Amino acid sequence: MKIIRTADYNHMSQKAAQLMIEKIRQQPGMTLGLATGSTPKGVYAELIKDHQENGTSYEKITTINLDEYIGLLPSDPNSYRHFMNSELFDHLDIRLEHTHLPNGAAEDMPQESERYEQLIKDLANIDLQLLGIGRNGHIGFNEPGTSFHSRTHIVDLAESTRKANARFFNSIEDVPAQAITMGIASILDSREILLLASGSAKAEAIRQLVYGEPDEQFPASALKLHENVTIIADEKALSLVS
Ligand code: F6R
ipTM: 0.99
194-212: average pLDDT: 98
Within-domain flag for 9: yes
* Gap between the Cα atoms of 158 and 76, Å rounded: 22
Q: Candidates 87, 141, 190, 234: which one to mutate for ligand 1, based on the most atoms within 8 Å of Cβ? A: 141
Q: Kindly report the number of other CB atoms within 10 A of residue 27's CB atom.
A: 14
- Give residue 146's domain range: 2-234
* Within-domain flag for 28: yes
Q: For residues 224-229, give the mean pLDDT.
A: 98
Q: Is residue 213 over pLDDT 90?
A: yes
pLDDT band for position 158 (cuts 50, 70, 90):
confident
| pLDDT tier, 87 (very low <50, low <70, confident <90, very high otherwise) | very high
Whether residue 240 lies inside any domain: the answer is: no
| Domain-located, residue 77 | yes
CATH number at residue 56: 3.40.50.1360
Quote the CA–CA distance of 124 and 204 in Å, as a whole number: 34
Q: Evaluate whether residue 242 is within a structural domain.
A: no
Instruction: Count up the domains in the chain and report the number.
Output: 1
Domain assignment of residue 128, yes or no: yes
Number of the ligand 1 atom closest to the C-alpha atom of 138:
9
Quick check: CB of 140 below 6 Å from ligand 1?
yes
pLDDT above 90 for 181: yes
